[in-house]
């Protein structure tokens, strides 16, 4: 039987650009893939469906949903999750786990390679944003158009490699968590509609400044626009967050980072993860050193994350081949 090993990156979401306004397409937005953190799991033969490791119960639920979608019996295999993306942190952990299970089981059962749309549909992802779905498949900077009322997944507008030297410093204050699942859906249902002019500004920032800045590898333009885009998109959620960023602690940290001269700072999704874009590993190390001087090290999880420009990696081998090598 095959042994399937999957490594999937984390997703940074820079913000949606449409929310209940007059635009035909809803949600849309921009994000990027990074790792670490990353999800790693293996799928191996077993008498029945079992799972072990962080989020094991959730993995089993996605596996059963995948089987129902494909009109197949529950797969007989063991799913072992070796490392997980922190949950409820704004890093797309649920989508990356779901798509990893879908892609992994398709490979394990020798099904044809699934498109991003098929992967998402099989496990119920992409109901609003599709950044994590396309990021799983392709990596890099993702711009997605937003959904029409009858579309199951937002179309991909463009996908670009981020410069290899750029680094994201990820800052995760301990004791805070973002929204997900039913709680997130309820909040979306209660948020006020957004002026079409705000959506137009966000779309223009993405298309006319963020994308050209990546193409030209213009770090300064991309970093400053990233902050401007994230702050404006965050205002769509001010009724829940109290402002463009989710609460006073995140707002304070972001302002401190801006005050010392790092312009490309923002909040990923609902947070609590904050990102700081830097042009190099050296600068990223300096940002972390500055933060450790200003904050109790036990209150912040800090990590340097290079861009992931290739998406998830799926490796299939035969169990018999592995046994002969050991």
| Cα–chain center distance at 6 | 16
Phi/psi region, residue 182 (left: phi>0; alpha: psi -120 to 50; beta: rest), is: alpha
As a whole number of angstroms, the distance between CA 217 and CA 304 comes to 20
Query: Cα dist. 184→119, 122, 187 in Å?
Result: 22, 21, 5
Instruction: Give per-residue pLDDT as tens, 31-79.
Output: 999 999 999 999 999 999 999 999 999 999 999 999 999 999 999 999 9
> What does DSSP say about strands 77-83 and 141-144: parallel, antiparallel, or unpaired?
unpaired
Contact between residue 278 and residue 169 where contact means Cβ atoms under 8 Å apart: yes
* pLDDT for residue 323: 43
Tokens 């020798």, residue located: 110
CATH topology of domain 2-325: Ribosomal Protein S5; domain 2 (3.30.230)
The packing angle between helices 116-123 and 93-108, to 10°, is 100
* pLDDT for residue 14: 98
Write out the chain's pLDDT in tens, 326 residues. Answer: 799 999 999 999 999 998 877 678 889 999 999 999 999 999 999 999 999 999 999 999 999 999 999 999 999 999 999 999 999 999 999 999 999 999 999 999 999 989 999 999 999 998 889 999 999 999 999 999 999 988 989 999 999 999 999 999 999 998 887 777 777 777 767 777 878 889 999 999 999 999 999 999 999 999 999 999 999 999 988 888 989 999 999 999 999 999 999 999 999 999 999 999 999 999 999 999 999 988 877 789 999 999 999 999 999 998 654 443 33
Contact between residue 302 and residue 173 where contact means Cβ atoms under 8 Å apart: no
Every domain of the chain and the residues it spans: 2-325
- From the DSSP assignment, how many helices (H) and strands (E) are in the chain? 12, 11
Query: Nearest 5°: phi and psi at 294?
Result: -95, -20
* pLDDT for residue 219: 98
pTM recorded for the entire structure: 0.93
SS3 201: helix
> What does DSSP say about strands 300-305 and 167-173: parallel, antiparallel, or unpaired?
antiparallel
């Amino acid at each position: 039987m095959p042994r399937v090993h999957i490594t999937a990156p984390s997703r940074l979401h820079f913000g949606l650009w449409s929310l209940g306004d007059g635009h035909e397409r809803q949600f849309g937005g921009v994000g990027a893939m990074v790792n670490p953190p990353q999800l790693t799991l293996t799928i191996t033969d077993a008498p029945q469906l079992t799972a072990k490791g962080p989020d094991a119960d959730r993995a089993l639920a996605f596996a059963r949903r995948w089987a129902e979608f494909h009109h197949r019996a529950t797969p007989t295999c063991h799913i072992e999750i070796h490392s997980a993306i922190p949950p409820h942190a704004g890093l797309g952990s649920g989508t990356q786990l779901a798509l990893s299970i879908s892609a992994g089981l398709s490979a394990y059962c020798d099904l044809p390679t699934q498109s991003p749309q098929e992967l998402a549909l099989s496990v119920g992802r992409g109901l609003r944003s599709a950044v994590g779905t396309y990021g799983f498949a392709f990596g890099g900077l993702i711009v997605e158009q937003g959904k029409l009322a009858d579309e199951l997944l937002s179309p991909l507008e463009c996908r670009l490699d981020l410069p290899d030297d750029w680094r994201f410093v990820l800052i995760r204050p301990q004791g805070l968590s973002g929204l997900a699942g039913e709680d997130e859906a309820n909040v979306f249902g209660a948020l006020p509609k957004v002026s079409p002019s705000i959506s137009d500004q966000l779309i223009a920032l993405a298309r006319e400044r963020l994308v050209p800045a990546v193409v030209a590898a213009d770090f300064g333009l991309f970093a400053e626009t990233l902050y401007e885009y994230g702050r404006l998109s965050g205002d769509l959620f001010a009724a829940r967050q109290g402002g463009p960023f989710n609460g006073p602690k995140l707002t304070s940290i972001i302002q401190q980072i801006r005050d010392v001269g790092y312009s490309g700072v923002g909040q990923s999704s609902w947070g609590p993860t904050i990102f700081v874009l830097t042009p190099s590993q050296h600068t990223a190390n300096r940002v972390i050193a500055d933060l450790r001087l200003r904050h109790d090290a036990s209150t912040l999880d800090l990590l340097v994350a290079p861009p992931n420009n290739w998406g998830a990696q799926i490796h299939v081998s035969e169990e018999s081949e592995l046994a002969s090598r050991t």
